[in-house]
Amino acid sequence: MPKGPMKRDPLTGVSLGRIGRDLPEEDLTLEGMFDRIKLPDCDLFCVRSIAAATGYSPQYLMKTVVTDPSSPLHLHKIRGENGLTIFATSTQSAQVGGVVFRNKKAAVSRLNLIKNFTDIGG
């Protein structure tokens, strides 16, 4: 039984054990943490922090925004060997991407409403 809380990577929030098992050595620091050196423009490396910056819940971000091929959100994906994926972006990109995606969805809803209204009347 472990004593104390699980040690987590401060950038990603992922346990150090999982990062050490899943990511190749070139993506780790000497201390075994995720190395952000390859992504100097990014400052968000955790789904929760990216979701907060976009204004969406982490669940909605992953199910809808990330999977939508027309999503304006610019994300780097660092894939581990055993299913771990670390998402990375900048705060500004997440904020702008969230606003643009929200506006796009609202515009589509308005167009559908107009289309349904004209179908009823015509």
Residues 64, 17: contact at Cβ < 8 Å? no
pTM of the complete model: 0.79
DSSP for 73-117, written as a single string: ---EEEE-TTS-EEEEB-HHHHHHHHHHHHHHHHHHHHHHHHHHH
**Distance of alpha carbon 55 from alpha carbon 72, whole angstroms:** 14
Mean per-residue pLDDT of the chain: 88
Per-residue pLDDT of 3-22, as tens digits, reads 777 899 999 999 999 999 99
Domains of the chain, residue spans: 16-121
